[in-house]
A and B are shown apart, each in its own frame.
Chain A
């Protein structure tokens, strides 16, 4: 197990290096200029723009910039944002709590819906309940979040006027009121993301349970006279959920990475909206840091998923 872990970590290093190189080159090749707004402003002499480009090292060759970035990154210096001129790690840390809260809650909501519905549907395949759950699941993951998001805004904010559609990280309230306001503004983004995720989870849980339900040991358990409830929860669900656990582990990077579209629609100040605004303003250091952190998380959680799998299912051995 230990040697396996070490080997996997060692493999991760070259793959992360390769990822960072590719990301950096693509970003460098992409057109655009962080100081484009200055270009149309007659009050800013062109020399200022050239001086800034030189100062921020944008005019150097790509490889020189890459090596400089890599060196700084290795020492924990993530660089600074061209747009707001503060360190990128500060910028990211400001966004992480919101993203964790919104995307994390939506994942919990998704599981809370998908597990009972998926298991119940699988234990009664092709029943009315199963048919309805299946149809809704199909509808759910066929509708993109930008559509459901706008639909929710139209219904709950504009027609009914129940919920605000602008998410604010600074709520000027204390105590219970703060929690209430927070909940009110978070309902829509969490539901939009949660329902979308729940739809695909439901399909997955259902098929995983279906695979297990027909196995001999389940029949044996029933033959022993165990109650249906006990069979489902202790014997079926426990074994069926092993692949689901890995699926959830693989989803974890997304929890940190945020949901770009949904965050943009509801103005949730998370990592996703940071990334999109950085891309739009050609703020390369921020784009680079966010995408690279995301790559690291993907590699890390892949490893965790593999380890979890082996731990949950002792038949699998690490070599």
Chain B
């Protein structure tokens, strides 16, 4: 779909000639993700639809208990310190953001009265100011009213470096002002194309000022409410044993009519993913279990029990391989894989191109991940608007052999190719996780047939993903020729996600290997496109720039994407959860009900 055609369609929607829904349908058919299609409308002054959630119960309460099983137990209930999805999801039961993302990617107001648009004056023309109108009459669980002061306080709390909030990335560098009791202004230093970040989704949950104001900054750990939340959410806190069980009961004054359906809620934690799936699908002891990192084969067998079903939804997470273009085996200035060095063979684009042809992505998807992933050649896959239409993958050992032959890599007596005495022997590292080890084996086999020898290395996840400066096996050190892992795209906009492709984020000894660019590869063109995207207000031009960044790295075969991962959960047959891939699992727990 070209730009003019899109513009015309948008005009049609404005004139009323085309309905919102059919516009989104057309846009999705043309390969654009629903969230982006609806953001397009917002930018062009068409208000977002107030999505009617399909909610049947006609009164609040009466649904009995809702029992949720997490195989990692929540350990704390302050959304600003929620380090993993377990804590974010648990916090989201009690706390709410101004708006959340639904499954179609629409912004849905939670504590906001409406979503800011250009039309209702919520978005300023220059793209620097967002004005949120708050929903009137919202009460905290202790009966105090929810006001703009609470929203402003959350910004102060999270942006204070001494608090060391995990959400700080969404709140630093902006200004938040109270206009009146129910109006808040978010002011950006420069035009902000993706404004729906602070106060939205998992990073946007609002904690009450009156309980946290004495615990801002260095004293943040001591707040009693860290473990006894008082929020605005559908359920009131009842009891919490960190690492074990969390219970809540229905909040009678909840600000949405007829919600929630259940009288009590319980999140039990611990154990492992397989038995969690079993407790929902086979024995029916629980209604819902999250993050099913279980082989699809196993889930399918359990589903035949007939008590529950598997839910999948696309996410922005990507399983990929990095080919190291720096030399991991030579130490320069106290670090290996230094940008000052060059890999003896992987710095040759031909070798990298051959490697990309040796990844049998379809088999990895079919035999290992099943419904848990989709084979892809693009680093960004969701929202569809940001997926590169040009990147294609192919599995061909013959082609790889031909490329290597042409490039002058000859097979030695042991069958391994070499050129100028440099052998194609690589160490391939990943974290310990059954599907990853199987993937490694599939790739090793293919490489063998092309005369490339892979030595497989697996590092325990707690070491691999740590930031331990002294440990050589962390993923950011990249002291190997190639490595594989999943990285998470936490918001529907990939700008921040793509900072792993810019030159100023390269992980080095100097920044204690904390830089986000682990591959160490850089391209001035990618830097330029990224910087331009940060300022571009036109969503389409912006997407083109971000796609360019993605393509530069994938076409250089430095980043070899494997699978776009799906979010997988299991639920009892009679439970109707509102499940979204763009927000936490419990983002809309108020509207869950039993049919």
B463 within 8 A of A: yes
With both chains docked as a complex, state the minimum distance between the C-beta of B386 and any C-beta of chain A, in angstroms.
Answer: 15
Q: What separation, in Å, do the CA atoms of A55 and B220 have in the docked complex?
A: 12
> Given contacts A32-B463, A165-B285, A166-B279, is CB(A42)–CB(B490) below 8 Å?
yes
Q: What separation, in Å, do the CA atoms of A39 and B461 have in the docked complex?
A: 12
Q: What separation, in Å, do the CA atoms of A47 and B226 have in the docked complex?
A: 22
With both chains docked as a complex, state the minimum distance between the C-beta of B350 and any C-beta of chain A, in angstroms.
Answer: 31
With both chains docked as a complex, state the minimum distance between the C-beta of A127 and any C-beta of chain B, in angstroms.
Answer: 42
> Given contacts A84-B76, A267-B270, is CB(A166)–CB(B244) below 8 Å?
no
B415 within 8 A of A: no
Q: What separation, in Å, do the CA atoms of A94 and B241 have in the docked complex?
A: 7
Q: Mark A157-183, 1 if CB is under 8 A from B, else 0.
A: 110010011101110100000000000
CB contacts (< 8 Å) of B241 on chain A: these are 94, 169-170, 269
Q: Which residues of chain B (468-512) have a CB below 8 Å from chain A?
A: 468, 471, 473, 476, 485, 487-491, 496-497, 499-500, 511-512
Identify which of B247, B471, B487 contacts A170 (C-beta below 8 A).
B247
With both chains docked as a complex, state the minimum distance between the C-beta of A96 and any C-beta of chain B, in angstroms.
Answer: 12
B161 in contact with A84 (CB, 8 Å): no
Q: Which residues of chain B (114-157) have a CB below 8 Å from chain A?
A: none
Q: Which residues of chain B (66-86) have a CB below 8 Å from chain A?
A: 69, 72-73, 75-76, 81, 83-84
> Given contacts A42-B500, A166-B69, is CB(A35)–CB(B83) below 8 Å?
yes
A169 in contact with B168 (CB, 8 Å): no
Interface size on B, residues (CB 8 A): 69
Q: Which residues of chain A (120-176) have a CB below 8 Å from chain B?
A: 153, 157-158, 161, 164-166, 168-170, 172
A269 in contact with B83 (CB, 8 Å): no
Q: What separation, in Å, do the CA atoms of A45 and B270 have in the docked complex?
A: 29
Identify which of A49, A86, A153 contacts B227 (C-beta below 8 A).
A86
Q: Name which of A166, A172, A277 has the most chain B CB atoms within 10 A of its CB.
A: A166
Which residues of B does A touch, CB under 8 Å? 65, 69, 72-73, 75-76, 81, 83-84, 161-162, 164-170, 172, 203, 218, 221, 226-227, 239, 241-245, 247, 264, 266, 268-272, 275, 278-279, 282-283, 285-286, 462-463, 465-468, 471, 473, 476, 485, 487-491, 496-497, 499-500, 511-512, 514-516
Q: A31-B468, A39-B465 are in contact. List 19 more A-B contacts (CB 8 A).
A: A31-B463, A42-B499, A43-B167, A43-B203, A44-B169, A45-B172, A46-B512, A48-B161, A51-B164, A55-B218, A81-B75, A83-B76, A84-B243, A85-B226, A153-B278, A157-B283, A172-B266, A264-B271, A267-B268
Which residues of A does B touch, CB under 8 Å? 31-33, 35-52, 55, 80-81, 83-86, 91, 94-95, 153, 157-158, 161, 164-166, 168-170, 172, 264-265, 267, 269, 273-274, 277, 280-282
The 6 closest A-B pairs by CB, nearest first: A46-B514, A33-B466, A84-B242, A269-B244, A84-B75, A83-B75
